[in-house]
Structure 1
């Protein structure tokens, strides 16, 4: 139900997207070939000479990712618009064919879409086994999906490091020797928020909604993507597709990519209202609670609706700043946010040091 139909003042938009919280550029819009294509493709081709000194598919793929990621990251940092990354990748593959850069083509074929013409009679074999493990931090909004793969005859694990505190985004990714090594890398990155979590085998495919909702290579580019994320811009898409195919073959298709903007906040509103009345002795402003709950849930994974983290709070503050500032519902919602955060931290039974970080 919209804010207007409930009798509340409309905010800036009835359909608020979390990407309003920061400037977003798009990938794949426009028609003319961007000027950044040629110099970045040349840089990758020139750097590909380093591939002659590496051995094996895994090392070839990794260096290819780094060569490609360096240029994508550079383009983002320089603020270019019209980021046609898929088109750029096709042009890069064509330039590599013309130069007969076979090692680079092997690396590109390992990370890129299968339909691209790599000019290879014997494409590289990277195979998902369908064995998947998952970890989730104490806040409940950051996930590790660890999937076993085989590079030719070299077994390994691919790590998807996923942040779902706002839009579902790839924070980091990479190839590791085994599950323990991948888990250790994720735990080190997450730090105290990881708690004592350990990798668990995924038995219910619903646990992989965080992966199916991950739109790697979609239209949104935020500008703060890490270098590691850009190194994996294409590889993560390919590994995601490979894994989905392997899971489907095992009768475990990834959950459907349903809209995260269809949510009912009724229960959340009722729970917070009861908590607030019990804590404060008076009922909260009903319109402010309803607006706050709607925004908190909208665009989030269902399993993170009741999750609270510092990043999630930062996003909500940014979104609240986009509301009409002088409207009573805006003022009331902003005043309720500290209580909302306290309630969620208490409900999640966060340890004191993590509640302090949220506050």
Structure 2
């Protein structure tokens, strides 16, 4: 075992169930895996997983109630006059219920299973309405089309199967608008643009889409946050690339600047491939923007990959962010930086090497020099999971604030942001405003803050 790895616990806990991007470190306590690193009211990933998935997948108590709420509110779809409006409204209808459940004291957060049960309930309401019990059938019929349009291929197939079960009855009733049949088929044109925040691990990927015949051409935005495991901070459809870029800049804040979107290389789209889309990593602080796009983000990624493959090159293969990571350049650069500020004395080598390894493992390419306060807090938490009695652990703790200052200087951070990050490296604490992708509303003991998306 190498000197660097001696103080470290098993890395198995840093892998997600899918074996790709890393997860949170192993808990040292029942509900506080990182000592004081969690914000007030925030659940650890382990605690959220135990509560969220600890129920029968097919019989979670909330399925029926949430399905009824969606069907009660589905009348808003009748005001839509095109496929994009139905799809957007469907995403919001489902996202509202997901947000309610994620932030509520419930378990059984199997979102795919609920999607299937909602589709079945919608089809039953269509059938009942057409058979003359006085119930409305057109709103749930539109809902099924919207669900087919936002669902990943497996879930789309579920919605289509439910639609096919009542299609003959619908054809005998008043004919729905012709554009409704376009909904299961949003298609990427292959035009893609990308924006990166120069300071924060935040990336905006924008791709053009349309329905068959070029109907309702629009741009879909993936707002990717890579402070921890790459996840969706928000997203949705926009009129064009300019509007999508403006929405991304507004969500990110002042550090985003005014850079124009550029055409990305294939490697730049690794952020989409690495996106965490599974219920097993829910933390209970997901915002509405992320949950509104819970289903559609994977579907649009799939559709984009298909379109790019037709051009000869799809999304890049998923690369491991935890194997073959080169750290020597960072160790050497940090050593030189540290020596310049400490009379020629270099940092303790094993502590510096351990810091470099922990920081660079799991880092999305292009974000290595971005010590946002959120990312620093996450790394602080990981270091706190090392063996506390080992000298390398003590060395790494002592060096961590300087390591963050080094990265901030290399990355051209504004002074105020660099100092906030260095403070987090010392205390393990940050304010909710330092990570606007999280929503702490409704969590007991959580600090007040505005939601990042409604």
Relative to the length of structure 2, the TM-score reads 0.74
In the aligned structure 2, how far is the partner of 1:70 from the partner of 1:7? Answer: 46
How far apart are residue 199 of structure 1 and its match?
A: 0.8
Give the C-alpha shift of residue 350 in structure 1: 2.5
Q: Distance in 1 between matches of 2:114 and 2:384?
A: 36
Q: Runs of 5+ in structure 2 lacking a partner?
A: 15-22, 26-33, 35-42, 127-139, 168-180, 423-454
Map of 2:177 onto structure 1: none
Q: Which aligned runs of 4 or more in structure 1 are off by greater than 6 angstroms?
A: none
Q: Secondary structure at the match of 2:158?
A: coil
Q: 1:301 to 1:307 in 2, by over 3 A?
A: same
- Provide the secondary structure at the position in 2 that maps to 1:322: coil
For 1:162, what is the secondary structure of its paired residue? strand
1:214 aligns with 2:256: no
* TM-superposed deviation, 1:112: 0.8
> For 1:188-199, what aligned pairs fall within 5 Å after superposition?
188-199=250-261
Matched, 1:50 2:76: yes
**1:108 and 2:147 are equivalent in the alignment:** yes
Equivalent residue, structure 1, for 2:387? 324
In 1, the alpha carbon distance for the partners of 2:312 and 2:123 equals 38
Query: Is residue 193 of structure 2 the alignment partner of residue 133 of structure 1?
Result: yes
Structure 1 residue 74 displacement after superposition: 0.9
Between 13-22 and 284-293, report the one with greater CA deviation: 13-22
In the alignment, the residues of structure 2 paired with residue 320 and residue 19 of structure 1 have an alpha-carbon distance, to the nearest angstrom, of 11
Q: When the two structures are superposed, what TM-score results if normalisation uses the length of structure 1?
A: 0.92
Q: Are residue 91 (structure 1) and residue 130 (structure 2) matched?
A: no
Quick check: 302-311 or 15-24, which moved more? 15-24
- SS of the residue corresponding to residue 200 of structure 1 reads coil
Structure-1 residue corresponding to 2:360: 297
Q: CA deviation at 1:15?
A: 4.0
Tell which structure's C-alpha radius of gyration is larger.
2
Q: Is the 8 A contact 1:217 1:234 kept in 2?
A: no
* 1:305 shift after superposition: 2.1
Q: Distance in 1 between matches of 2:76 and 2:365?
A: 45
Distance in 1, matches of 2:100 and 2:201, equals 29
Shift of 1:115: 2.2
SS in 2 for 1:219: helix
Alpha-carbon contact 1:8-1:287 (below 8 Å) kept: no
Report the equivalent of 1:145.
Answer: 205
Alignment RMSD (CA, Å): 2.1
CA contact (8 A) 1:28 1:86 kept: no
2:190 and 2:304 in contact (8 A); partners too = yes
1:32 Cα deviation after fit: 4.9
- Counterpart of 2:2 in structure 1 is 5
Please point out which of 155, 160, 175 is paired with 2:222: 160
Counterparts of 1:140-289 in structure 2, within 5 Å, are: 140-152=200-212, 153-202=215-264, 204-217=265-278, 219-262=280-323, 263-280=325-342, 281-289=344-352
Q: Distance in 1 between the 2:348 and 2:379 partners?
A: 18
Q: Distance in 2 between matches of 1:161 and 1:104?
A: 26
Deviation at 1:106, TM superposition (A): 1.2
For the residue of structure 2 that corresponds to 1:154, the secondary structure is strand
Structure 1 residue 188: Cα displacement: 1.0
Q: Give the Cα–Cα distance (whole angstroms) in 1 for the partners of residues 256 and 67 of structure 2.
A: 39
